[in-house]
Structure 1
């Protein structure tokens, strides 16, 4: 009996040891899981910036390619018409295509001939671009005309009875809207021979996202500040404010500097959603990424015949 009791006692002790062993193993497994989770989180923290950097580089490459195609289209237009397109058409209201942008005139050269035909038909029916015959074109989203860094441009925006397609690429009108010393401005018809500073030293197109309220940055047509396309699809390196709608914004001194999509006055200057600067098309059709540190020389690069001897900063 005593031995049997001792046996029972021995078995009980053995079972307790087994239970303790299982608990120890469970505790160790939980710690291991926590360690693995911690390692995974650390790896994600290390990899995320690299992934974002790769995505940013891919987006920048697409944006640069868009602008390169615009540069080629500008040259094709010049070859066909012996001049660059008007930055915007107005001619005191006498133009056949009032407020039509340079981007619209490039449609046949960027594989958008049907849209060009629709544009001509719409203007023949009604010269006012915010009227019904224009709506199918006015609301078109053309991926080539916008950098994918600005998600606002991925779809047309509604303004009352119509929708509007947006652009992040604006023609360089020179110093400002009244100077007319660049390549693309109101009623311009600049020939390559007029660019005495050299095509490779003169800016033609630059990045500038639409205004915070999306009233500036329409690719098809637009009034801009003074029916001259200023800040709409055209911009100067030192743009001046003339629109009473934005009277709280600085009238002068609008240079090349970082901006924000919700920045109320940032439509008055060149900037991009790429870190450090923005892409520009030069008169020779090449594309360069220019740093914000080049702000001081941007006015000289924006003019076609200023006589300046400039070099791009590294």
Structure 2
């Protein structure tokens, strides 16, 4: 066999090995990414607690101007508690998040708000959304304290992970309402293989499986609904 044919055969063999092993390699990375994602949410949960320690309440879902228009997300308010004080200092909280004066911050990724399994095209996007309703921990323009959570801290969620097609800019005052949560459960479209992570008031992070009934998810959202939350 000529050296040229040997080279061709070797190239084909190597290519075949890469094709065969590539899916397995990609699949083997997912558990690590899922762990990284879980740690992100644990850091966010700790930051929420530290914010609560200072202000005696969790942050509002978003801040508002004098006319009630949304300005900045809770994610922006948490930056000092996530070792992101320099980034926080660049933001003018009196102007909307996407105002030109905040352009530099808008173009800056915040790694703790990004799941490693999410697409890399938009590094400033986040799939970690608060559930914002009148009866959840995060509320429009309002604050909620630990004393308001009478359903139990281990059975009340604050932040939910959504698929990448529902991601928003990490500075945007846009989160998940009840409709988004319902569709997430009904379509069973989740960020990871078996579900998506949720951060609970007690600081723990759980994987909410895509088979979880909606009534159980809604029970996790309410702070004082007195629903019975079965194991999930």
Matched, 1:199 2:153: yes
- Specify the alignment match of 2:169 in structure 1: 218
Matched, 1:103 2:79: no
- 1:109-147, CA deviations, whole angstroms, 9 ceiling, x for partnerless residues? 00011122222xx234xx233322111112211111111
Q: How many correspondences in the alignment? A: 227
Measure the CA separation in 2 of the matches of 1:128 and 1:73.
23
Measure the CA separation in 2 of the matches of 1:293 and 1:94.
38
Q: 1:301 to 1:92 in 2, by over 3 A?
A: farther
- Specify the alignment match of 2:183 in structure 1: 254
Q: 1:42 to 1:303 in 2, by over 3 A?
A: same
Q: Secondary structure at the match of 1:114?
A: helix
Measure the CA separation in 2 of the matches of 1:210 and 1:92.
33
- Specify the alignment match of 1:5 in structure 2: none
Q: Secondary structure at the match of 1:279?
A: strand
- 1:174-197, CA deviations, whole angstroms, 9 ceiling, x for partnerless residues? xxxxx4111112112110111011
The unaligned stretches of length 5 or more in structure 2 are none
Q: 1:135 to 1:44 in 2, by over 3 A?
A: closer
Bigger Rg over Cα: 1
Q: Is the 8 A contact 2:61 2:74 kept in 1?
A: yes
Matched, 1:86 2:86: no
Alignment of 1:89-238 (within 5 A): 89-90=63-64, 93-94=67-68, 98-119=70-91, 122-124=92-94, 127-152=95-120, 154-155=122-123, 165-173=124-132, 179-211=133-165, 217-222=168-173, 232=174, 234-238=175-179
Q: Is the 8 A contact 2:162 2:184 kept in 1?
A: no
The unaligned stretches of length 5 or more in structure 1 are 1-25, 156-164, 174-178, 223-231, 241-252, 260-270
RMSD over aligned CA atoms reads: 3.0
Structure with greater contact order relative to length (CA < 8 Å, sep ≥ 6): 2
Q: 1:62 to 1:304 in 2, by over 3 A?
A: same
Q: Secondary structure at the match of 1:133?
A: helix
Q: Is the 8 A contact 1:236 1:302 kept in 2?
A: no
- Specify the alignment match of 1:307 in structure 2: 226
Deviation at 1:43, TM superposition (A): 9.2
* TM-score for both structures, normalised by structure 2: 0.84
Measure the CA separation in 2 of the matches of 1:57 and 1:301.
25
Q: Secondary structure at the match of 1:205?
A: strand
Q: Is the 8 A contact 1:167 1:209 kept in 2?
A: no
Measure the CA separation in 1 of the matches of 2:100 and 2:54.
31
Q: 1:91 to 1:154 in 2, by over 3 A?
A: closer
- Specify the alignment match of 1:283 in structure 2: 201
Q: Is the 8 A contact 1:258 1:292 kept in 2?
A: yes
Deviation at 1:303, TM superposition (A): 1.0
Q: 1:72 to 1:238 in 2, by over 3 A?
A: same
